[in-house]
Chain A
Amino acid sequence: MDALQVTNLSVAYEEKVVLQNVNLTTPVGHLTGIIGPNGAGKSTLIKAILNQLPNKTGAVHILERPLNPKDHLVGYVPQRNAVDWDFPANALDVVLMGRYGHIGMIRKPSAKDKQIAMECLKNVGMEAFADRSIGQLSGGQQQRVFLARALAQEAEVYFMDEPFVGVDAATERTIIAILKDLKAKGKSVFVVHHDLQTAADYFDWMILLNQTITASGPTEQTFTEDNLQEAYGGKLFFMDQTKLNKTFN
């Protein structure tokens, strides 16, 4: 069974091509990193897969059928800075939003929905902050709330846009533990990531992207210097730098 199948996907913003002819297939049960330089179209790829861009061509299948939100198959963690954290809501309110798809229009969240939301907060180590205004949480805590909301979706395939950006080390460890737990439960997780140092440790499957697919497959086959050179072009210089840093520290 394929978790994700993308066929001939192209996206252009006002004549500027962002994604060109993307084709990829990923089987279920993998923790997949979507890797590429800035402007490679990583976030755009996720948005296109989730059918949020009107100006796209090509086909996307999730678990071998076209995306339909009513199937509740997909969980989503948008970029943290995409929302206004001064919004008057507490952590539990936001996690509960992950249940809205299951609840359906008009109806109110039930006691069971609230219980599920609370458990998801617990999973990310945030149960003590359920009543806290989201504006008073740290960046890492906000990211955990977003992850808890995705968990509350009880989905099969998860898409996460830069969940590790601007978080503290403890949060990064919590998030990666949860991702690995999801994988152990047979879920498929796709994560936009740009830290090449940790990528090989975190993900067992990789999509290397720079407007089109450079490589896609198991990490040990795809995460090679040649492929990275190709995806990053001349910009891979900093990779050597980080390697150097590692050696000297």
Chain B
Amino acid sequence: MNEFWVLLTGSLVGITCGLTGVFLILRKTAMIADAISHTVLFGIVVAFMVTQSLSGFWMLVGAAIAGLLTTFLVQLLQSGGLQEDAAIGVVFTSLFALGVLFITLFAGNVHLDVEHVLMGEIAFVPWDTWDILGFSMPKAVWMLLIVLVFNLLFLVFFYKEMKLTTFDPVFALSIGLPIVAMHYSYMTLVSLTTVAAFDSVGAVLVVAMLIGPAATAYLMSKSVIGMIVWSMAFGVMAAITGYYLAKLWNTSIAGMMAAMIGVLFMLVFLFKPHDGWIWKVFKRMKIKDTEPNIL
């Protein structure tokens, strides 16, 4: 049974992050996910300081606010003339450092250690359960399910708006779409996804799950919806194969899952029909063979 919960948690991380990550890739803001995955620590610590509890709900609220704050600060620095990557670098290291300082200053004796936040421990997921409506499931599964529902609802309602504001924000603005509100709503979802996922796989590996499957799907897809489906599929594949390989080699589960994301990406990059790397090399060789030898 424990194995089932771990697999389910991993797969849910794959699905939720895969879904959310698609627009990070398309909007070329993958690095903001990196930033948010670190600054949610700040949000969680502040939420703990204010409420003196480690309840999942307040963690989500704190993370959402931290994500919005990150997005807002990055935007602010950018409009002040800083480049986006520099703005992200400054904001997330500062907020993360504040988070670490606050933990050691105000939450030293609570189970909120930095290593746990960064690496997570998916193997312990089955023992931390919540009872909601008579169902007892691991807390991580509940949180991921709730966040997945939010993500799905957002895309069901705003799929075409997300598509247009991502592809052509200037045109989107000209027909009156609220592009700023869309951006902040989406970044809130990225923050929620991050905090729901990092409890099990850790903040660093959330980034792998958010970006890797979507980047792999980008190589495969001709439509946004196709990319979403592939991205979720790659997320689940990485989670399941990663789990069994970790078991086989007796190594870190989350680490193996993230490694599998890299493996899947390389496989697609190399062997994708028509424009995979191998295919291209092969085609080039064929052209050379058929070229007349003028000497």
Give the tally of cross-chain contacts (CB within 8 A): 71
From A78, A94, A133, give the contact of B222 (CB < 8 A). A133
Q: Compute how far the CA of A108 lies from the CA of B157 in the bound complex, rounded to whole angstroms.
A: 9
Which chain B residues lie closer than 8 Å to A97 at the CB level? 160, 163-164, 167-168, 171
Which chain A residues lie closer than 8 Å to B108 at the CB level? none
Chain B 133-174 interface mask (CB, 8 Å, partner A; 1/0): 000000000000000000000000110110110111011011
Supply 7 further A-B pairs (C-beta < 8 A) apart from A69-B174, A88-B223, A149-B171.
A87-B26, A88-B26, A89-B163, A90-B222, A97-B171, A105-B177, A133-B222
**A109 beta carbon closer than 8 Å to chain B:** yes
Which chain A residues lie closer than 8 Å to B158 at the CB level? 105-106
Report which residue of A68, A100, A149 has the largest number of chain B beta carbons within 10 angstroms of its beta carbon. Answer: A100
From A70, A78, A94, A105, give the contact of B161 (CB < 8 A). A105
Kindly provide the distance from the CB of A36 to the nearest chain B CB, expressed in whole angstroms. 20
**A83 beta carbon closer than 8 Å to chain B:** yes
Contact B167 A94 (CB under 8 A): yes
**Chain B residues within CB distance 8 Å of chain A:** 26, 28, 81, 157-158, 160-161, 163-164, 166-168, 170-171, 173-177, 218, 221-224, 226-227
Contact A78 B170 (CB under 8 A): yes
Q: Of all chain A residues, which has the CB nearest B174?
A: A76
Contact B160 A108 (CB under 8 A): yes
Which chain B residues lie closer than 8 Å to A101 at the CB level? 175-176
**A82 beta carbon closer than 8 Å to chain B:** yes
**Chain A residues within CB distance 8 Å of chain B:** 14, 47, 50, 52, 68-70, 74, 76, 78, 82-84, 87-90, 93-94, 97, 100-101, 103, 105-106, 108-109, 133, 149, 153
Kindly provide the distance from the CB of B177 to the nearest chain A CB, expressed in whole angstroms. 7
Q: Of all chain B residues, which has the CB nearest A86?
A: B218
The answer to whether A88 and B227 touch (CB under 8 A), given A100-B175, A101-B175, is yes
Report which residue of B28, B176, B218 has the largest number of chain A beta carbons within 10 angstroms of its beta carbon. Answer: B176
The answer to whether A82 and B164 touch (CB under 8 A), given A50-B174, A76-B174, A100-B177, is no
